[in-house]
Chains A and B, each alone.
Chain A
Amino acid sequence: MSNHHMTPELEDDSVNETIQYVTIFISGQLFGLPINRVHDVFVPESVTRVPLSQVEIAGVLNLRGRIVTAIDMRKRLGLPPHEHEGSMMAIGIEFKEESYGLIIDSVGEVLDLSETSREAVPSNLDSRWADIAAGVHRLDRELMVILDVDRVLGDMVTTGVAA
C-alpha cells in the first residue's frame, strides 16, 4: 500500500518551466505529447477488432502481457485512414490505471519547450480538434498542437458509457 506509486501528473504550469514533448505526426500534422504521459512507443501488431465498439477504437492488442486498447487517432481527429497501414506506430499511455495505445503515423523527436511560448488553441479550429488540444507551439518550421491525453481518452469513456 505504502509503495503505491502515482501516475506522474502534468507539472504545475509555473511560467518559466519547460516541458518535454514527444512529437508525433498524424496525417502530416505535428502534435506534441507531454513526455511524462508517454509510457511506450511501439509498433501495433495483431490488433484484435472489437465489434460494436466506438469507431475510434481500433481494437485491443497484447503489449507485453497487458491488454491495450488501441485508439485510431486519425478517426479520433476525423481524418481519412492511412494509406500504408503497415507503417504505423503507437504511443502507450496510462489513463485511469488502464493501458491505451494511440495509433499515429510516426514518431518524431523529443522537444524542450517553454511554457511561455505556448499559445491558446485558435478559436476557429475544428471543434473535434479543439476539444482535445491543450494549446499550440510555434516552432520554426511548423505549428505543434499539444494533445491533451486526458481529454482524448476521457471523452471517449463518457461517450462510450452513454452509447
Chain B
Amino acid sequence: MDDLLREFIEETNESLDVVDVELVKFEQEPNNAQILDNIFRLVHTIKGTCGFLGLPRLESLAHAAETLMGKFRDGAPVTGEAVSIILVSLDRIKEIVGELEANEAEPEGSDDDLIDQLDRLSGVGKWAGQGTSVVDQASGGGAEAPAADVAEETPAAEAPSEGEPAHEVYQVLERELKAGEVSLDELERAFREADGPEDFDVAQSAKEAAEAAVADAAAQKRLGKVPTTKAPAEKAPVAKKKKEEPKAEKEQKSGGGAHQSIRVNVETLEHLMTMVSELVLTRNQLLEIVRRHEDSEFKVPLQRLSNVTVELQEGVMKTRMQPIGNAWQKLPRIVRDLANDLHKEIDLVMIGQDTELDRQVLELIKDPLTHMVRNSADHGLENGEERVAMGKPAKGTVTLSAYHEGGHIIIDISDDGRGINTEKVKEKILKNELATEAELDKMSEQQINKFIFAAGFSTAEKVTNVSGRGVGMDVVRNNIELIGGSVDLKSIPGKGSTFSIKIPLTLAIVSTLLVEASGDRFAIPQLSVVELVRVQNNSEHKIERIKDTPVLRLRNKLLPLIHLSNLLGIDNKGETNDIELDDNGFIVVMQVGAQTFGVVVDAVFHTEEIVVKPMATMLRHLTMFSGNTILGDGSVIMILDPNGVAQAFGSHVGTDVEASTEAAEKEALPEEQNTVSLLIFRAGSPEPKAVPLSLVTRLEEFEIEQIEFSNGRDMVQYRGSLMPLVQVNDFVQRRTEGSQPMLVFSDAGRSMGLVVDEIVDIVDEQLNIEVSSEVPGILGTAVIKGKATEIIDVGHFLPQAFEDWFHRKEMSDEDLLTKKLLFVDDSSFFRNMLGPVLKAAGYEVTICSSGSEALSVLERDPSYEIVVSDIEMPEMNGFELCEAIRRQPATRDIPIIALSSLCTPAAIERGRQAGFNDYVAKFDRPGLIASLKEQRIELGVAA
C-alpha cells in the first residue's frame, strides 16, 4: 500500500474516533466553541487530505458535514437531529475508510442520501434559500425532544470532564495516544537514562566484556536513532507535519502545558524492550565478572551502569502503559445512541480514566467492557416511567470506574437500575437445565445471579438490537478469564447492579513464585498461590497418607497433595514411579476456580516479576506451562499454568484417590457433609416418610392371611416367633387382600413390624431436620429429594410392640439407681433419636448440642457417670472434647463412649488415643447399650 494512503487511513481513523467523542460532548455543550473548533478542524483535515489523495466520495461527504458544522460555528442552533446526521455521516466515512484500507480504493456507491440531509440542515445546494427555515423548524417544533435530551444530558458529560481537566486539555489539543504510542516525556526520559558511549570505554577495555559492549553499543545506536524521529526525517512524513502546525497554534492559544507526544511504532517499542532485557543480562554478566576480581576499577562505573539500566528498564516498561480512558473513548457515543434507540435517558459517568494498564490488556478488555456497558444500559436500567414510578430520577446512570488494587486493576460497571431479578434467573436456569431445583434451593441469591455468566444465558425477555444477540455474559467472562482476570457481580433488587472486573495490570509482567523440583526451577504465578506451608515431621503440619495418597490436614480440610516432580514426570532418582514424599518440604497451596490442592516442592526461592514470553510452537501442546521467561541471572525458566496443573492434578491423582479423599473429607468434615441412607415410604398420607435405613432390620411383605389378631393386637408369625405389628398411624390402609408391606425392627431376638402403605425408595441424603414435630412418633421434617419428608421416631413405636423393649435388659440388672449420663451430639436428629433410647436404658440424660456446651455442663457438675459423644461436630469435635475432659482432674475418670457414623480402624485408634473408653457406630443401638453396661460394670468393679 502507498505510504501516503496508509498514513491517511491511520490518521483519519484516529481523528474520527476523536470527533465521535467530541460531538457527543458538543451536543451537550453546544456553546463550547473550543470543542466545535476541534471537530471542525479534524473534519476539515480529512476533507483536505481526501482532495489531495483523490478520494471524491470521502471528500464530498466530509465537505457536506463540514459545511453543516460551519453553520454551527456561525451560530446556527445545534439540534439532536443535526448531530445524529453528522454522526451517521462519520460512520459512513469510517466504512469507506475501512474499504479503502482493504482494497486501496474507494468503494462504489453514493452518499447522496446523507449529503442531501446534511445540505438540507445547513441550507445549501438545492436547499439554499429555504435552509434557514429548516434549521429554524428543527430548532423549534420537531426537535424539541432531542433538545430536551441535550439539556438533561449536559451534567453527565460535565461530571467526568470536570474530574480531570488535564485529560480534557490534552484531548482537545492533541489526539489520544494510540496503542503503542509513547509520550514524549517518556521517551525523553529513556534517552536521558541511556548513558553516552563514553561510559562504555570501560567495558571495551575489559576483554571478557567486549562482546557485551558490542551489544550495548548496538542498543545505543538504536536508541540513538530514535531522536531523529523527532525531526521529520524518518518517521514523521509530511502529512504529520501538517497536522502539527494547527496543534502548535492551539497550544499557544490555551496557554501551553499540553502533553507532548510523538508516534512510535509498536514494533520499535517491543524491540526497545528486548534490547533493554539484553542490556540487563549483559550488566549481570559484567557484575559477575567484577565480583571475581575483588578491587576492580570497573566497580564504580558498573554500579552506575546498573542503576541506569534499572531505570531504563522501568522507563521502557512504562511506555507500554496506557490510561484506561482509551478503552472508554467510544462509550459516550455508544451510550448516546443506545439512549436514543431505547428511549431511555442515560447518564454515563466515568471515573478514573487515568488509571493505567498495559496496552495489550487494554485491547483485550475493550470489547467485554463495551458489552457490559450496553448490558447495563439495556437490561439494567428501567425506562423513564418505571423509574419515576419507583421514585427514582427519570434519568438512569451507568457508572464506570477504574482503580488500582494491589497489582490489579478493578473496573466497576454499575447502574442504578432494577437489579437482577433472581426469580427470572432461576426460571431460566431451570428452563435451560443449568441446575436442578434442588440445587438452586441450596444456593444463595448471589450464587444464582452468577448464572448469568453461564453459557447460553440471557435474561432479556425480548431480544433487542442492543443486546441479547447470542453473545452473552459468558463470552464476556471467557474473555476476561482468558487474560487472567475475574468477574463478579453484586445486585440489589430495585437499586441496581454492579459488575466488577478484576484484571492484572499487565499480561507481560507476572509476579511469580520461584520453586525447585528435582533440581529444576519453575515459576508459579502468584495469583493462584494461596499460601505456602512448611511441613516438618515435628511441626503441626505433616503429610499424612490415605492408601499411599499424600494429603495435608490444613485447618480442618484435607488437601490433596502431589509432588511437582511427579506431576511433571521429572523424577531424577529413577527408583520408583513416585518420589517418596519425605516429610520435610514445602507445599504450595494453589487455588484454581473451586479446586484447591497442594503442590509439594523441594525448595522455595523468592518471588520475581517476570516478563512472560510465549513458548515455541513445538512446546505449545504442553498444557502444564503457560510460557517461559528469562530470569535476571540469564537462565530460562518454565512458567507453570495453574489451570493445566489443576487439570493434570485430577487425572494424575486418579479416581481411586479421589474416592479416598472424599472418604477422608467425610471423616474430617462435620455432619453437613455426611449423607445418611434413608428408607422412604408412605403411610397414611401421600407425603413421604423416612427412617434411617440402618435402624431397619428387614423389609418384609406378609400375605394378609398370615396376619393374626391376638391379645388385642395384630401379629404375624415371623421366624418361629410371634411378631407384633404396629401401624405408623391410624390412617394406614390395611389391605384386605394381597400382601402388606412392613418394616421389621429387631433387637435381641425380638422383632416388631411397622405397617406402612408403600415402600418408595432408598436414598442417600444429608439429613437436616428443619422442622421438629409435636406429633408423637414423628421426629420432624426434613427435605429429602426436594420434598418435605417426615422422619419417624422408631423409639416411639418400639415400646408399642413390647412395653419393656428398652427396659427389660436393664430391669434384669438389679440396680435401679438412675445414673447421670451426658449425651453430646450436634445433630438434632440423633439427639431426638438416641435421647429417648438412653432414657429408656435407665439413665438420667442431659443432652448437649456442642462440645463446648458439654464442657461447661461438666464444669458445673462433674458428677456425671458417663459421657456419650458424637465425633463429627463443628468447632470442637469429639476427639477434642474427649481430650479436654481428660485434662480436667474432676472429670478425668468419667468413661466416655464415642459415637460415630464412621467406624474405620483408624478412627477407632484415634479415639483410643484421645481417651475414649469405647467407640460405637451411631446406628448400633444394641452396641451402645451393651457398651454402656460394660462401662458401668467396669466402673462398679473399680469403685
Which residues of B in the span 546-595 have a Cβ within 8 Å of any Cβ on A? 568-570
Is B636 a contact of A60 with CB atoms below 8 Å? yes
Chain A residue with Cβ nearest B279? A65
Cα distance A52–B274 in the bound complex, in angstroms:
28
In this assembly, does A113 line the interface, its C-beta being within 8 Å of a C-beta of chain B?
no
Q: Which residues of chain A in 77-117 are interfacial with respect to chain B, using CB atoms and an 8 Å cutoff?
A: 96, 98-100
What distance in Å separates the Cβ of B659 from its nearest Cβ neighbour in chain A? 26
The chain B residue with its CB closest to the CB of A99 is B616
Q: Is B545 in contact with chain A by the CB < 8 A criterion?
A: no
Contact: B570 with A49, CB < 8 Å?
Answer: yes
**Are B634 and A156 touching (Cβ within 8 A)?**
no
Is A57 close to B, CB under 8 A?
yes
Least Cβ–Cβ distance between A60 and chain B, in angstroms: 5
Say whether, besides A49-B520, A65-B278, A65-B281, A54 and B628 are in contact (CB < 8 Å). Answer: no
Give the shortest distance, in Å, between A41 (CB) and chain B (any CB). 14
Q: Tell me the smallest distance from the CB of B506 to a CB of chain A, in Å.
A: 19
Contacts of A65 in B (CB 8 A): 274-275, 277-278, 281, 630
Are A69 and B619 within 8 A (Cβ)? yes
A62 within 8 A of B: yes
A136 to chain B, nearest CB (A): 27
Find chain B residues with CB under 8 A from A120 CB: none
By the criterion CB–CB under 8 Å, are A64 and B215 in contact? yes
B contact residues around A2 at 8 Å (CB): 3
Let me know if A161 and B621 touch, CB within 8 A.
yes
Decide: B568 and A62 in contact? CB cutoff 8 A.
no
Contact B622 A50, beta carbon cutoff 8 Å:
yes
Query: Which of A46, A57, A64, A66 sits near B619, CB closer than 8 Å?
Result: A57
Quick check: B618 and A52 within 8 Å, CB to CB? Answer: no
Closest to B627 in A: A67
Contact yes or no, B636 A61, CB < 8 A: yes
B637 close to chain A: CB less than 8 A: yes
* Interchain CB contact under 8 A, B215 and A98: no
Residues of A within 8 A of B613 (CB): 67
Task: State which of A1, A49, A54, A62 has its C-beta within 8 Å of the C-beta of B634.
Answer: A62
Q: Collect the chain A residues with CB atoms within 8 Å of residue B634's CB.
A: 46, 62
Q: Known contacts A49-B520, A62-B636; is A67 also within 8 Å of B630 by CB?
A: yes
Closest Cβ of chain B to A45, distance in Å, is 9
What B residues does A99 contact at CB under 8 A?
616
Contact indicator A53/B622 (Cβ below 8 Å): yes
Which of B569, B570, B618, B629 touches A157 (beta carbons < 8 Å)? B618
* Residue numbers in A under 8 Å from B275 (CB-CB): 65
Determine if B635 is an interface residue (Cβ-Cβ < 8 Å): yes
Cβ-defined contact, A54 with B624, below 8 A: no
- B242-287 residues at the A interface, CB under 8 angstroms: 274-275, 277-278, 281
Q: Check A29 for interface membership: any CB of B closer than 8 A.
A: no
Complex interface: chain B residues within 8 A of A69 (CB): 616, 618-619
Q: Is A15 an interface position by the 8 A CB rule? A: no
Residue numbers in A under 8 Å from B619 (CB-CB): 50, 53, 57, 60, 69, 160
Chain A's interface: helix, strand, loop or mixed, by majority?
A: mixed
Q: Which residues of B contact A6 (CB under 8 A)?
A: none
- Tell me the minimal C-beta distance from B222 to chain A in angstroms: 13
| Distance of A139 Cα from B943 Cα, bound (Å) | 106
Residues of A within 8 A of B277 (CB): 65
> Which of chain B's residues have a CB closer than 8 A to the CB of A54?
618
CB B59 to nearest CB in A, in angstroms, measures 26
Say yes or no: A48-B637 contact (C-beta < 8 A), given A54-B618, A64-B215, A160-B618: yes
Of B3, B278, B622, which one neighbours A64 at CB under 8 angstroms?
B278
> Which residues of A sit under 8 angstroms from B6, Cβ to Cβ?
1
A51 interface hit (Cβ, 8 Å):
yes
Considering only residues 30-75 of chain A, those with a C-beta below 8 Å from chain B are 46, 48-54, 57, 59-62, 64-67, 69
Q: How far is the CB of B208 from chain A (nearest CB, A)?
A: 15
Whole-angstrom CA separation of A99 from B520 in the bound complex: 22
Among B275, B617, B618, chain A packs the most CB atoms within 10 A around the CB of B618
| B569, A51: Cβ atoms closer than 8 Å | yes
A51/B618 in contact, CB under 8 A? no
Question: Do A48 and B636 touch (CB < 8 A)?
Answer: yes
> How far is B628's CA from A66's CA once the two chains are assembled, in angstroms?
11
Q: Is A153 in the interface zone, CB < 8 Å from B?
A: yes
Which residues of chain A are near B622, meaning CB under 8 Å? 50, 52-53
Residues of A within 8 A of B281 (CB): 62, 64-65
Instruction: Answer yes or no: B638 CB below 8 A from chain A CBs.
Output: yes
User: Once the chains are docked, how many angstroms separate the CA of A163 from the CA of B569?
Assistant: 16
Task: Give Cα A72 to B638, complex, Å.
Answer: 19
Which residues on A sit within 8 Å (CB–CB) of B521? 48
- The closest CB in chain B to the CB of A59 belongs to B636
| Cβ–Cβ < 8 Å partners of B635 in chain A | 46, 48, 62
* CB-nearest residue of chain B to A61: B636
B630 touches A62 (CB 8 A): yes
Select from chain A the residue with minimum beta-carbon distance to B633. Answer: A46
Whole-angstrom CA separation of A108 from B3 in the bound complex = 46
Q: B631 → chain A, closest Cβ, in Å?
A: 9
B3 (CB) vs chain A CBs: closest residue: A2
B625: chain A residues within 8 A (beta carbon): 50
Query: In the complex, are the beta carbons of A153 and B570 less than 8 A apart?
Result: no
Contact A160 to B568, CB < 8 A, known contacts A50-B638, A64-B278, A65-B277:
no
B636 touches A153 (CB 8 A): no
- Tell me the bound Cα distance from A61 to B570 in angstroms: 18
Q: Check B621 against A160 for contact (C-beta < 8 Å).
A: yes
Is the Cβ of A51 less than 8 Å from the Cβ of B278?
Answer: no
- Of chain B, the residue at the smallest CB distance from A156 is B618
CA distance A163 to B617 in the complex (A): 13
Are A100 and B621 in contact, with the CB atoms below 8 A?
no
Contact (Cβ within 8 A) A67 B568: no
Specify which of B215, B568, B617, B620 is in contact with A51 (CB 8 Å cutoff): B568
Q: Can you list 9 residue pairs at the A/B interface with Cβ under 8 Å?
A: A1-B6, A46-B634, A48-B637, A51-B624, A53-B622, A61-B636, A67-B616, A160-B618, A160-B621
Chain B residues engaging chain A, CB cutoff 8 angstroms: 3, 6, 215, 274-275, 277-278, 281, 520-521, 568-570, 613, 616-622, 624-625, 628-630, 634-638
By Cβ-Cβ distance, the 10 closest A-B pairs, closest first, are A51-B568, A65-B278, A69-B616, A48-B636, A60-B636, A51-B570, A160-B618, A62-B630, A46-B635, A98-B616
A51-B520, A51-B638 known; 16 other A-B pairs, CB under 8 Å?
A: A46-B636, A48-B636, A49-B520, A50-B622, A51-B570, A52-B622, A53-B618, A53-B619, A60-B619, A60-B636, A62-B281, A64-B278, A64-B281, A65-B281, A67-B613, A67-B636
